[in-house]
Amino acid sequence: MTAQFRTILGRIGNTSLIPLRHIVPANGARILLKLENENPTGSMKDRMALAMIEAAEADGRLKPGGSVVEYTGGSTGVSLSLVCAVKGYPLDVVTSDAFSREKLDHMRLLGAKLHIVESDSGRMTEKLTKDMIEQARIIADAKGSFWTDQMKNRDQLAAYHRMADEIWEQTGGRINGFVQSVGTAASLRGIAEGLRHHRDDIRIVAVEPAESAVLSGGSSGAHKIDGVGAGYVVPLWQRSVADGIERVSTEDAMAMAFRLAREEGLFAGSSTGANVVAALRLSERLGPDATIVTVMCDTGMKYLKTFGARLAAGAST
């Protein structure tokens, strides 16, 4: 047994794939949800965090006794905190008050040192993303840390190629569409590349916040869908990867997250809600003989305070 499988890191990946039973169009395709909440920190980002660290270890960018730095909206930071805790690397995380308190607390509990960048009224914007990136660069230069730099790091693509292989095997190759929201664009790109390695006619749909729909030619704006919609065209984005781009508003994403909890028993974050909204639209276009896969990006436990506040304020569920 390898050292990896003697630690919690061996539990990353090989997550379940289940069908939605109630949130389905009357005459649309079957929708399957990849349950990435089953990863150790409850997020698909565990896959990419491990891939980035192990690639850097392998080629000497990260040496024994070294340290790590990253900017993140939360889930990547939590995942890196886990990996660095297991492997013994000090971690500096540049993040913001725009992101859920649960994620920030989780990072601290796993031993990360947080550097908080103030947001514009708790909203995700292009300026916030770029301010966080610059702060991470400064820390990396000052400390000589390995900067994972998730917006540009191609090492994570291999993790998503493996996720695509899981999806292919779990569907027995019966998949007609794949839908995923875009943050760094690595998961959409990596999974699309992996699926098209098996069959090149699978329809790939990217999802972005309607309030900041820069990938589909709109203006940069502010939104509250955690982990996606950087506010500018990110370096790993390749327009040729996606057959279509769906715009989903924060309100629609949140409402769908509540519906998933109430109607399917699946407690997920707002990016998952956006994924399902877009998958339902594709489902109606592809029809009842097709199968669509989308992703439960993380657990809703990361957003308990945020969701609780919306419920208390009378938000629609």
In tens, the pLDDT along 121-160 reads: 888 788 998 999 999 999 999 999 999 999 999 999 999 9
Q: What is the pLDDT of residues 240-289, one digit of tens each?
A: 999 999 999 999 999 999 999 999 999 999 999 999 999 999 999 999 99
Q: What is the pLDDT of residues 16-71, one digit of tens each?
A: 999 999 999 989 999 999 999 999 999 999 999 999 999 999 999 999 999 999 99
308 lies in a domain? yes
Question: Is residue 174 pLDDT above 70, yes or no?
Answer: yes
The pLDDT value given to residue 100: 83
Say if residue 218 is in the same domain as residue 304.
Answer: yes
Range of 62's domain?
45-147
- What is the C-alpha separation between 48 and 178, in angstroms, rounded? 19
pTM over 0.85: yes
The pLDDT value given to residue 311: 82
Question: Is residue 317 pLDDT above 60, yes or no?
Answer: no
Cβ proximity of 297 and 275 under 8 Å: yes
The pLDDT value given to residue 98: 87
Give Cα 95 to chain centroid, integer Å.
Answer: 15
Say if residue 99 is in the same domain as residue 175.
Answer: no
Total number of domains constituting the chain:
2
Question: Is residue 309 pLDDT above 70, yes or no?
Answer: yes
Q: Looking at residues 309-313, what average pLDDT do you find?
A: 80
> Of all residues in the chain, what percent carry a pLDDT higher than 90?
85
171 lies in a domain? yes
152 lies in a domain? no
Q: Looking at residues 202-220, what average pLDDT do you find?
A: 97
Indicate the residue among 119, 147, 175 that finishes a domain. 147
End-to-end CA distance of the chain: 47
In this structure, what CATH number is given to the domain that contains residue 110?
3.40.50.1100
Say if residue 190 is in the same domain as residue 300.
Answer: yes
158 lies in a domain? no
159 lies in a domain? no
- What is the C-alpha separation between 202 and 247, in angstroms, rounded? 20
